[in-house]
Amino acid sequence: MNKLYQKIEYCLKYRNDIVFKFNIDQKTIVMVNSNLLPISLQNKPVSFDLVQKFCSDRILTLNRGYCKEILTACGIEDQSDINICIMCRALSFRDNYWISRTNKKETWEEFNLYNNNFSLNISHIALTGNMQHADMVDDKVFTGELTGKGTKAKCYYRTDNKVVMIKNETRAEILSEVITYYIAQALGIACSRYEIRNMFGKECSVCEILTCDDRELVPCRDILSYYNTNQMNYQGEYYAFFMKVDPINFIRMQILDYVVLNTDRNRDNFGLLVYRGKMLGMYPLFDHDSCFKGKSPNGNYFPTGITFSKTLELLKTKYYRYYSTIDTVRFREIIGSSTFKETFLKCKSAEEYDSMMRRVNNL
């Protein structure tokens, strides 16, 4: 990291309020408002480790498609977690936390990604890897491409006064995203709507991001961190936490994943919705490219740590009080209708439909 950056004092902010100040060179931290700490940093000793953890949880994964090109376009040579966050101010389309210098009067209104233009050149590189659009920048990197998880090439793009996420996927994966939205609708759970479009010369999935100034996402990863564990299973504290906050929709998510055999409901692919600082319930579901991949109901389901089939039995028995309130009969009628089948067959095969209906009939 540049020695100049090391000597500067920075602060983690929630919108315009300082959460804590830190110095990279001295590895010191001064807590200002512990009530504003991200949930992932709560229940932990106050030390410089909080800075490291926030940044490591924040940045893009190094196995993401075109990661090297993104870092090069942003002029980032030091690829340490903290440096990457400093360079992009830790700005994200997930929540309202960011990093600022304490000696500058920088405001959330000036820098947040929702209301300010971000680099479309970097977005283009993030999706395509084409370096002819490289926008070599200094310490004023303004992009959301340096934060967030996932391995596929993707980018954020502003169109029609809204921000969308564009993801480079196979046609089969895109159509899985598309049809899962309609299945979720039939089940009565909020879900991102995906479309198939040609963007920058590539066939991609496109969905509107659902976060904004008022609406934030707390991913499951952060809940696990709060309980100081990486283990996802139905006997864990994290599972009980979700069941306490929004049991009906948490169960709906698991039913949906059983029906579509979603093999990628990992700790970054679901979470809770925070509205104006208040935790309301499940965040609308997203990222369904790993559905309908020919997996068996006897495969492992990440949120419970047991198979899809055993997860369904768990919901029917231990959580019957909640499960019984979900109108699975009506859901079966919608999914089994000729109208829905016609829609499904535009995305998937008749064999996949029949296989799905066998699972639906088990509900």
Q: Which SS3 state, helix, strand or coil, does residue 323 take?
A: helix
In this structure, are residues 73 and 122 in contact, taking their beta carbons and an 8 Å threshold?
yes
Higher pLDDT, 94 or 6: 94
Does the pLDDT value for residue 3 go beyond 70?
no
Q: Are 70 and 61 in contact (CB under 8 A)?
A: no
Check pLDDT > 90 for residue 27. yes
User: What pLDDT was estimated at residue 140?
Assistant: 62
Model pLDDT, residue 136 = 52
Nearest one of 120, 46, 55 to 89, comparing CA atoms: 55
Q: Under DSSP, is residue 195 helix (H, G, I), strand (E, B) or coil?
A: strand
Dihedral over Cα of 17, 228, 287, 304: its sign:
negative
183-237 pLDDT, tens digit per residue, is 999 999 999 999 999 988 889 999 999 999 999 999 999 999 999 999 999 999 9
Query: In this predicted structure, what is the pLDDT of residue 138?
Result: 47
* Domain extents in the chain: 3-113, 215-360
**Terminal CA-to-CA distance of the chain, rounded, Å?**
55
Alpha-carbon span 239 to 233, nearest angstrom: 7
Q: How far is CA 203 from the centre of its chain?
A: 22
The pLDDT of residue 77 is 85
Determine whether 266 is exposed, middle or buried from the number of CB atoms within 10 Å of its CB (0-12, 13-18, 19+). Answer: middle
| Model pLDDT, residue 22 | 97
Q: How far apart are CA 292 and CA 75, in angstroms?
A: 40
**Residue 170 or 149, more confident:** 170
pTM exceeds 0.85: yes
Mapped onto helix, strand or coil, the DSSP state of residue 19 is strand
In contact, 112 and 88? CB cutoff 8 Å? no
> Among the listed ranges 14-23, 71-80, 347-356, which one has the minimum average pLDDT value?
71-80
Token pair of 141, please?
A: 């990197």
pLDDT tens-digit readout, 301-312: 999 999 999 999
What's the rounded Cα separation, in Å, for the pair 142 and 204?
24
pLDDT tens for 135-164 read 554 446 789 999 988 899 999 999 888 999
The burial class, CB within 10 Å (0-12 / 13-18 / 19+), for 109 is exposed
Mean pLDDT, range 46-72, rounded to an integer: 94
